Amino acid sequence: MESLRRSRYTLMSDLAIGGQRLLLHGVTGAMDEVADQVGAFLKDTSLSVEEGVQKYNISQETLRVMEERGYLTKLAEDQERQRVGKYITKLHTLKLENCASFMIVVTYLCNLRCHYCFQKPLVEADGKRLFSDLISVEMVDAAFAAMAQLIKQKRARHNLELFGGEPLLARNRPVVQYIIEQARERNFSVTATSNSTDLHHYEDLLGPGGIEKIQVTIDGAPEMHDKIRIYPSGKGSFESISDNISRALDRGVVINLRINIAKYNIQQLPTIVEHIQQKGWAKYENFAAGLAEVHYIGIQDDRSKELSHLELIDSVAALDAPYFTKKALVRGVFGRHFNYFPGQPPAPKFDTCFCNAMQGHYVFDPYGNVYTCTEDVGFERARVGTYYPGALQFDALRLKGWHERTVANLPDCPSCEYLQVCGGGCARNALLDTGDAWTSYCTDFKAYFQKVLTLLYEDYKSSDGPDPAVLGLSSMVTACKS
Ligand code: SF4
Ligand code: SF4
């Protein structure tokens, strides 16, 4: 017992309910409910474990279980940190050796003009349109040849995501159809990130065996959306997007609805949920929705309309909305960090790094370039190689820079209890914000996650089993988490 020490990776809910608290271990992934006095014992670092056992009356059996779950350890602080570093690196290497995901940028052109578009500096300069090419059939063939080289698990079904600009413009259909045919031959699934304004031109290509999943974004209730997600003429796009979501759901496409949130539309969330209900989307098993904060980083200096993570969860929790709506929205935020089904214990989602860009994601653009970061495609700073003309070639140093950006290698993360729930923060935003992608980009993550833990614990304790306040809201599995 003398040699036991409190692990530095224990996370605890600030809130105690009915004399109990929620504990989470940031490395082992253990999640437990413990008596408040056990929580107080773990928190009270002014006392040694031995002294704490006396003061808080902790049994030998409790000590044994806490050691088994990782909350107590016999390792010295340095040894624990080193072991965690080795574990994360090994896990990450295994992922890199086994996982690969792919994206094709069909074109950088888009038919909409959202004011916060991260590709704005790329496609517009001095009022002129740049980067307006469509990917060619030869490039598609070269991209598939490159993917074949990068795939390690030959028998696994891989995914190819279509991205833009807007990949599913009506005029892109011939090359998109070619990509889908090539993907089918290779047993790839095909998904897309699409504004879905032209989706009706792809009706026969939607659903199993075609485009199986689409991430679609809305920017608020119809009126607000129509001021933001606009055509060059200034006309809004809500109705066509909404109609096409219904069309795609009917054809069996999995729709991930991304609800963009900033200070100007946070109060509209209940109206958005009402729209989802009125349309009947929530009844489809292939429908899910999640909230995503609008970022202006790299687009404009004025970021006053942005909501931080913490502001988002605080605002959602404070919404004056019906019970059903509020619960559904709060659970939508949990989905980013936990697999959570009301009535069942939550299971935390862990990762060795922040996003797919660090673990085998490759993006092929219509200029023959390869990237890893979805939001930085087209920018020279993020280019890691080329695939056309000629064979796939990487800039080894640049690629290594992405693949090694794990929580084991960032400056502050190896000692942080949030390491595997946070992942070290977005590399692109860290670079644009601080000038160094290798910064541990904490933002307000710790306070935000603590709030999530508290709300989750309240939700878990107050629910007797499955209830209707879920609405299909869940996390969206996307390459980019920024
Ligand atoms: S970025 Fe900050 S909060 Fe996230 S794991 Fe690293 S040190 Fe912890
Ligand atoms: S989360 Fe950040 S680093 Fe990852 S793909 Fe998105 S912008 Fe790039």
pLDDT tens-digit series, residues 418-427: 999 999 999 9
Q: Flag whether pLDDT at 8 surpasses 60.
A: yes
d(CA 390, CA 405): 29
Point out the ligand nearest to the CA of residue 375.
2
Q: Is 288 in the pocket of ligand 1 (CB under 6 A)?
A: no
Residue 479 is predicted with a pLDDT of 63
Residue 322 is predicted with a pLDDT of 85
Q: Is 351 in the pocket of ligand 2 (CB under 6 A)?
A: no
pLDDT tens-digit series, residues 108-126: 999 999 999 988 877 776 6
Residue 1 is predicted with a pLDDT of 47
* Residue 300 vs residue 416, higher pLDDT: 416
Q: How far is the CA of 376 from the centre of ligand 2 (A)?
A: 8
d(CA 291, CA 335): 10
What DSSP assignment string belongs to 256-302? Answer: EEEEEE-TTTGGGHHHHHHHHHHHTGGG-TTEEEEEEE---TTT-S-
* Residue 343 vs residue 244, higher pLDDT: 244
Q: How far is the CA of 357 from the centre of ligand 2 (A)?
A: 6
The overall average pLDDT reported for the chain is 91
Supply 264's token pair.
Answer: 């100007």
Give the residue, by CA position, lying nearest to ligand 2 atom 8: 373
Q: Is 425 in the pocket of ligand 1 (CB under 6 A)?
A: yes
Q: How far is the CA of 10 from the centre of ligand 1 (A)?
A: 14
Q: Flag whether pLDDT at 475 surpasses 60.
A: no
> Which atom belonging to ligand 1 lies closest to the Cα atom of 445?
3
> Which atom belonging to ligand 2 lies closest to the Cα atom of 479?
5
pLDDT tier at 473, thresholds 50, 70, 90: low
Q: Is 375 in the pocket of ligand 2 (CB under 6 A)?
A: yes
Q: How far is the CA of 418 from the centre of ligand 1 (A)?
A: 6
Q: Is 11 in the pocket of ligand 1 (CB under 6 A)?
A: no
Q: Is 295 in the pocket of ligand 2 (CB under 6 A)?
A: no
Point out the ligand nearest to the CA of residue 426.
2
Q: Model's pTM, two decimal places?
A: 0.92
What DSSP assignment string belongs to 320-389? Answer: ---HHHHHHHHHHHHTTTEE--TTS--EE---SSSSGGGTTEEEE-TTSEEES-GGGTT-GGGEEEE-SS
- CB neighbourhood size of 239 (10 A): 12
Q: Is 446 in the pocket of ligand 1 (CB under 6 A)?
A: yes
Least confident of 221-225, 248-252, 313-317: 313-317
Point out the ligand nearest to the CA of residue 405.
2
Q: How far is the CA of 297 from the centre of ligand 1 (A)?
A: 19
Q: Is 442 in the pocket of ligand 1 (CB under 6 A)?
A: yes
Q: How far is the CA of 411 from the centre of ligand 1 (A)?
A: 9
Q: How far is the CA of 414 from the centre of ligand 1 (A)?
A: 8
Q: How far is the CA of 381 from the centre of ligand 2 (A)?
A: 13
Q: Flag whether pLDDT at 2 surpasses 90.
A: no
Q: Is 440 in the pocket of ligand 1 (CB under 6 A)?
A: yes
How much is the average pLDDT of 246-261?
95
> Is residue 233 within 8 Å of residue 278, measured between CB atoms?
no
Percent of the chain's residues with pLDDT above 70: 95
Q: Flag whether pLDDT at 202 surpasses 90.
A: yes
> Which atom belonging to ligand 1 lies closest to the Cα atom of 440?
1
Are β-strands 101-105 and 361-364 bridged in parallel, bridged antiparallel, or unpaired? parallel
Point out the ligand nearest to the CA of residue 358.
2
pLDDT tens-digit series, residues 62-104: 999 999 999 999 999 999 999 999 999 999 999 999 989 999 9
**Category of 368 on φ-ψ map: left (φ > 0), alpha (ψ -120 to 50) or beta:** left
Torsion of CA 356, 358, 364, 366, to 10 degrees: 100
- Residue ranges covered by each domain of the chain: 5-74
Give the residue, by CA position, lying nearest to ligand 1 atom 7: 413
Supply 328's token pair.
Answer: 């559904």
Please state the φ and ψ torsions of residue 125, each to the nearest 5 degrees: -145, 130
Least confident of 5-9, 198-202, 222-226, 347-351: 347-351
d(CA 238, CA 229): 8
As assigned by CATH, the class of the 5-74 domain is alpha beta
* CA-to-CA separations, 324 to 266, 319, 472, in angstroms, rounded: 17, 12, 12
Q: Flag whether pLDDT at 471 surpasses 60.
A: no
AA identity, residue 252: G
Q: Flag whether pLDDT at 442 surpasses 90.
A: yes
